Amino acid sequence: MEHAPYHYDVTARAIALIDKRAGIPMPLDELAHALGMSASHVQRVFTTWVGVSPKRYQQFLALDHARDLLRRNFTTLDTAADVGLSGSSRLHDLFVRWEAMTPGEFARRGEGLSIYWGWFDSPFGKVLSMATDRGLCGLAFAAESGPDSAMADLTSRWPAATYIEAADRISGWTMAALQGTGEARLLMIGTPLQIQVWEALLRIPSGHVTTYSEIAKSIGRDKAVRAVGTAVGRNPVSLLIPCHRALRKSGALGGYHWGLPVKRTLLAWESAREHQVGHQRNIA
């Protein structure tokens, strides 16, 4: 992964340019010209990190893609436990081991915790990662909010903690989450309801989606859809706890704490990767 930061930057810029077209196709030559690169180079880098060509990716980014996912890849959470991140439909070879803070630890607002942080490149722009010695506790996309806002957002959740800049210390777990390979440890810091909701999100396979009402039903809170939606939105660990896979019943994207363009991009990216993996399986 020696050239990962450069490749991520090219991919992030390409995705942003495609997304701005709002569904109007962007030919490869036009995309390459906008990036100041050759078409063959853009095609190679983009395909390496997204899994499909820019042209194919744009089909997954279509505005009605979320509705298509609900029709084709809807997940009922009470049957999804065996096909989540630890099952056959996970994205590539990512294994997540997680634990949750006790209510007492949460109530102390991070007091006594050392939280290490650093900035990382991803196909979705800069990512702020935070972790304790027990696992990742924050992954914030800064493309929409900006780096200062992302930092303020995460640090405000555990105001009594000690924050230490140490990207090298947490890079292993972070890159496993961003690349979908290896093992990532996760520490959930939230209220009992939030942790219930986040556990449910972990059961949604990559390339699949569910609804806020389905999440509420799966944790025995059928009539608390609004509270469940709020808990989904308070998830501090983007991508790894996949709140972007929660949609409204209508197929509308709903909210996303890190910005709706990022949510739409994540769904398209995962669908593209899953399509590619499925294609390779069929060939084999």
Instruction: Name residue, tokens 């496993």.
Output: 176
Give which of 49, 265, 42 is closest to 144, Cα–Cα: 265
Catalytic member of 243, 253, 262, 266: 243
Question: Quick check: is 137 catalytic?
Answer: no
Tokens of 72: 């084709």
CA dist 30 to 21, 37, 51, 66, 269, Å?
12, 10, 20, 26, 21
Cα gap 65→253, rounded to integer Å:
10
Burial class (CB in 10 A: 0-12, 13-18, 19+), 168: exposed
Rounded to whole angstroms, how far apart are CA atoms 89 and 205?
6
- Kindly give the residue spans of alpha helices, DSSP state H, lying in 61-162: 65-72, 103-107, 147-157
- Name the residues annotated as catalytic: 243
